[in-house]
Chains A and B, each alone.
Chain A
């Protein structure tokens, strides 16, 4: 009688579901662009085969690195500016119902204006260079921080505020030692949304008269008709965006577990 194989030997290799999604996406991309059955030179320049060659070249020569650093710097500055404006404002709105009511219509009105609509005004007022880009990134990201922060403050457990009051805490002590730690999950959600928006707005914003950055590089590759490089930069943009989002998600989980 044949001896049966141990269970571990016959267990099929498990592929995580997200990888399945990525693999199917890559397959669709390959089917519609591969030089195996397409001869159009522009179309095949977008194929995974050529894109990966361009990607390896970009990374090995380091040509893309200054652009990545410039873009990440702009993301950081835009995010910090949005946090510096959005979090204190969100706390104020969360603490003061009249202020919240007084500003809600105005903020909803401005929030619904696409950040890219500000482009001409930003260039007219701030000129060309980094400043209008920072402005666009900040105005795009600040709303998710304001709204999440004020929602967080409104959701702070009333018992903690009562406790703080009963212990004779000053208003600043209540804000710094109770409210801010209590709203960190909301803040992390706000920062995560803000980074997503900033990353999306960054590429068109970097088409505003700057001379480096991933958005600039996309335009540059288009002008040079280097479509495989263009696709490689798109892959880099997607990867960096995914990594930023994942790091925020991990931070959120860690904080949530600690609670």
Chain B
């Protein structure tokens, strides 16, 4: 079997186009410029991440990889508009973002399902808010059915969250985001709380969902394999403060589950880089 060119890396800093320039902003779905987030602590100011420049094209899956505490989840929450940045700007299709946007879907590490609602009602919750465009009842029903079908949860519509396994709960959380048909899907370590087998199942499911919905995804993970199996690009973050340290483009066609051995070399390279970042002297 011929080995495919699995990846190539880009160490050069990004050339950020001006978001207001039509040609550039239309090509990009998300543009992040010079983003920085500081927290005030008792010890003083703590910078979670700084100098973050990022561009994501429509239909692209970008994985943000890094050790715990490198600021990747904090960066994702900032892009989602759940916290404000101290410096920098975020643009979604050229529009500046500083609050949550209906076209951005977010899936948390924990499913965060509302326990008094059934699976169906949890998915419907996101569709019945004022900020969403007014949908007819039949459209709401069809969107929920399609989302449930995408995550293979038919038959569990009337189940309550406490009756679901961790993997099923996370599928409902994914369906809740998908039903809103977001332009950008932000996933914050969505499978990290699952066991290895369920995680693999969920990764396959997510890949199928991404292909079905032509989703644009920014996935935060600390799992190199997950990043390599799902991502078109892998961004490695350094910490204290968090910065994008290096980028790899994974060009091997998806699905990659049966050809994971082709990614071994790249995996080793990322692993070595990550090890150096965590403890440079060892």
Question: Is B126's CB within 8 Å of the partner chain A?
Answer: yes
Q: Is residue B271 within 8 Å, beta carbon to beta carbon, of the partner chain? A: no
Question: In whole angstroms, what is the CA distance A181 to B125 when docked?
Answer: 13
CA distance A170 to B112 in the complex (A): 18
Q: Is B131 positioned at the interface, with any CB of A under 8 Å from its CB?
A: yes
Stretch at the interface among B100-108, B143-151, B193-201, B250-258: B100-108
In the assembled complex, the Cα of A69 lies from the Cα of B132 at a distance in Å of 49
CB-contacts of B81-136 with A (<8 A): 81-82, 99-102, 104, 106, 108, 110, 112, 114-116, 125-126, 129-132
CA distance A258 to B82 in the complex (A): 30
Q: Is B80 in contact with chain A by the CB < 8 A criterion?
A: yes
Does chain A have a CB within 8 A of B162?
Answer: yes
Stretch at the interface among A96-104, A121-129, A159-167, A245-253: A159-167
B125 touches A167 (CB 8 A): yes
A178 within 8 A of B: yes
Considering only CB atoms, which chain B residue lies closest to A177 in the complex?
B125
Contact with B along A142-173 (1 / 0, CB 8 A): 00000000000000010110110111111001
CB pair A166–B100 under 8 Å, yes or no, is yes
Number of CB contacts from chain A to chain B under 8 A: 55
Determine whether the beta carbon of B112 is less than 8 Å from that of A163.
yes
Q: Is the CB of B112 within 8 A of A168?
A: no
Given the known interface contacts A162-B108, A163-B108, A173-B130, the answer about A168 and B116 at a Cβ–Cβ threshold of 8 Å is no
**B125–A170 CB distance below 8 A:** no
A178/B100 in contact, CB under 8 A: no
**Are B114 and A160 interface neighbours, CB within 8 A?**
yes
Determine the distance from Cα of A258 to Cα of B80 in the docked complex, in whole angstroms. 32
Taking the complex as formed, is B160 at the interface, i.e. its CB lies under 8 A from any CB of chain A?
A: yes
**B101 to chain A: which residues have CB within 8 Å?**
168
Residues B160 and A168 in contact, CB atoms below 8 Å apart: no
Per the 8 Å Cβ criterion, residues 167-197 of A in contact with B are: 167-170, 173, 177-178, 181-182, 184
Q: A159-B108, A163-B108, A259-B162 are in contact. Are A169 and B129 (CB under 8 A)?
A: yes
Chain B residues contacting A166 (CB-CB under 8 Å) are 80-82, 100, 104, 106
**Chain B positions 59-90 with a Cβ under 8 Å from a chain A Cβ:** 80-82
Count residues on chain A whose CB falls below 8 Å from chain B CBs. 20
Question: Roughly how many angstroms separate A177 CA and B100 CA in the complex, as a whole number?
Answer: 18
State how many angstroms separate the Cβ of A259 from the closest Cβ of chain B: 4
Q: What is the distance, in angstroms, from B82's C-beta to the closest C-beta of chain A? A: 6
Interface string of A204-240 (1 = CB under 8 A from B): 0000000000000000000000000000000000000
Would B100 and A168 count as touching, CB distance under 8 A? Answer: yes
Evaluate contact between A165 and B129: CB separation under 8 angstroms.
no
Provide the residues of chain B in CB contact with A163, threshold 8 Å.
108, 112, 114
Measured CA separation A255–B110 after assembly (Å): 23
Contacts of A170 in B (CB 8 A): 129-131
Q: Which of A162, A173, A184 contacts B129 (CB 8 A)?
A: A173
Closest to B106 in A: A166
Q: Report chain A residues within 8 Å CB of B126.
A: 167
Instruction: Check A167 against B100 for contact (C-beta < 8 Å).
Output: yes
In the bound complex, how far is the Cα of B163 from the Cα of A258, in angstroms? 10
Q: Decide: B82 and A168 in contact? CB cutoff 8 A.
A: no
Residues in B with CB closer than 8 Å to A173 are 129-130
Output the nearest chain B residue to A170 by Cβ-Cβ distance.
Answer: B130
User: For B102, what are the chain A residues with a Cβ–Cβ distance below 8 Å?
Assistant: 168
CA distance A177 to B160 in the complex (A): 17
User: Chain A residue with minimal CB distance to B130?
Assistant: A170
Q: Give A258 to B114 CA distance when docked, in angstroms.
A: 12
Query: Which residues of B from 167 to 181 have beta carbons under 8 Å from A?
Result: 180
Q: Is the CB of B160 within 8 A of A259?
A: yes
CB distance from B8 to the nearest CB of A (A): 34
A255–B162 alpha-carbon span in the complex (Å): 13
Instruction: Tell me whether A181 and B100 are in contact (CB under 8 A).
Output: no
B116:A259 contact, CB within 8 angstroms = yes
Q: Besides the contacts A168-B100, A170-B129, what 6 more A-B pairs have beta carbons closer than 8 Å?
A: A160-B112, A167-B100, A167-B180, A170-B131, A182-B116, A184-B116
**A–B pairs, 27, beta carbons within 8 Å:** A157-B112, A159-B108, A159-B112, A162-B108, A163-B112, A163-B114, A165-B82, A165-B100, A166-B80, A166-B82, A166-B106, A167-B131, A168-B101, A168-B129, A168-B131, A169-B129, A169-B130, A169-B131, A170-B129, A170-B130, A173-B129, A173-B130, A177-B125, A178-B114, A182-B114, A182-B116, A184-B116
> What 4 A-B pairs come out closest when comparing CB atoms?
A168-B131, A159-B112, A259-B115, A166-B106
Interface residues of B (CB under 8 A from A): 80-82, 99-102, 104, 106, 108, 110, 112, 114-116, 125-126, 129-132, 160, 162, 180
Could you tell me which A residues sit within 8 Å of B by CB distance?
157, 159-160, 162-163, 165-170, 173, 177-178, 181-182, 184, 255, 258-259
